[in-house]
Amino acid sequence: MLELEHRFRVVDVHARLTLDEAVTARGRAISPEKLEREMHQAGVVSTVVFAGPREGQSYLSANNAVARRSVDRPFVTFARINGPRDPTGNATARLRNLGARRKDHHTSPGDVEQYAYDDRFHGFKLDPTTDGLPTEDVLDELEAVDLPVLVTAGQGFPPDAAAEALLGRSFPVVLSHFGGFPLDRDLMDDAIDLLEFYDDCYLDTSFVRYRAPMERAIMEHPDRVLFGSGTPDVHPNVAVMEILTLDVPEDAMRKVFSRNPGRVVDALASE
């Protein structure tokens, strides 16, 4: 694909770096070299990367492997975390969660502290539908370290469940896919509505596809929308073009592409 020409500094808050195809639960695998090349083609100067899903396994080795493969590349590594609690938020889940206990492969408060004070990691990635919700003591530690948490939200973990489980906490929460994965416009609208009530809630643009929700969020909450490509399932050229073709002011695009991500993730800020 040809290099995309534009006049913006672009940083990306959402890219999966899969270690090998054998452990890929869904989606494409991509090498660090190819990911770096595709980002360069799209004019993306820095990218948040995280491990792919490894159901029933600890993410410690996967996180460390992603961090190693990010060295000397324009990648910002987030540590993927998991937990034993049911994320669905219904009455049965609440009852089950009262007795939920961590297993050896689940993230502990000590793991969070270790990641936070390891200069290779700059935030956390959580997919509750795949990985479960962390226990309360882990959420307490996330508050203590105060790093951003990128959260997959959608039909398996809707915005209202995210609000109940996470948004009352003090750490920044970025709801991926506008809270509507996969392509649920009603949930996207629900996530945009949350921005009125939670100052530390943000939305990333990965897999949104629809213009209207993105334009609404950017115009109503210009400081709360972050560019996310969803690479490797989407080529970053395509994701960048989706923002470039929105009917919003150029300064708003600049916020989405660079300023907003740089405020939430320190390592993405321009020097």
Indicate whether this model's pTM tops 0.85: yes
Check: CB of residue 140 under 8 Å from CB of residue 109.
yes
pLDDT at 172 (0 to 100) = 98
- The confidence score (pLDDT) of residue 25 equals 45
- Domain 10-268 top-level CATH class: alpha beta
Which residue blocks in the chain are alpha helix, DSSP H? 32-41, 60-69, 91-98, 109-116, 128-131, 136-145, 159-162, 185-194, 211-220, 236-244, 250-254, 260-264
Residue type at position 17: L
Cα distance between residue 216 and residue 256, in whole Å: 13
202 phi and psi, to 5 degrees? -135, 165
Q: Enumerate the domain spans of the chain.
A: 10-268
- Residue the block writes with tokens 């009917």: 247
The reported pLDDT for the residue numbered 4 is 85
Please, what are the averages of pLDDT over each run of 10 residues along the chain (271 residues)? 83 90 56 95 97 94 96 98 90 78 96 97 98 97 98 96 95 98 97 98 97 98 98 96 97 98 96 61
According to DSSP, the residues that pair with 81 across neighbouring strands are 126
Q: In what order do the strands lie in the sheet with 149-154?
A: 10-16, 44-50, 75-81, 121-126, 149-154, 173-181, 201-204, 225-226
Distance CA 18, CA 66 (A): 8
> What does the block give as tokens for 215?
């334009």
pLDDT of residue 30: 85
